[in-house]
Amino acid sequence: QSALTQPASVSGSPGQSITIPCTGTSSDVGGYNYVSWYQQHPGKAPKLMIYVVSHRPSGISNRFSGSKSGNTASLTISGLQAEDEADYYCSSFTTSSTSLVFGGGTKLTVL
């Protein structure tokens, strides 16, 4: 069982927006702003999309945005494109011995 909870799957049509939630506790998501999001295409390494809740690394489309409220962080993808179809993982710093915890991942299907 993953430390952070994500829905197993979400879907949307091209051009639409979707939001993926990531729920933790006050020891991780709720207590710190070190929340990140990763995109992983099949057979590829993960790619950092969002860090520190809402910051985008250089080169990441502004269609990707992040936010946080309480113990839940969210990734929103607007203007869905076929290439966005992938697995998405959240992560957070945690005060537990693990230091960094990941969500179980969400498979995004673009219909």
Is 105 near other proteins (CB under 8 A)? yes
Is 97 near other proteins (CB under 8 A)? yes
Q: How far is the C-alpha of 104 from the C-alpha of 30, rounded, in Å?
A: 18
List helix spans (H) across 1-111. none
Q: How many residues make contact with other proteins (CB under 8 A)?
A: 25
Look-up of token digits 């950092």: 48
Q: How far is the C-alpha of 25 from the C-alpha of 58, rounded, in Å?
A: 29
Distance of closest approach, residue 99 Cβ to other proteins, in angstroms = 5
Distance of closest approach, residue 101 Cβ to other proteins, in angstroms = 7
Is 67 near other proteins (CB under 8 A)? no
Q: Which of 9, 14, 17, 57 binds other proteins (CB under 8 A)?
A: 57
Burial label for 14, CB within 10 Å (0-12, 13-18, 19+), is exposed
Stretch that binds other proteins, among 10-18, 19-27, 42-50, 76-84 (CB under 8 A): 42-50
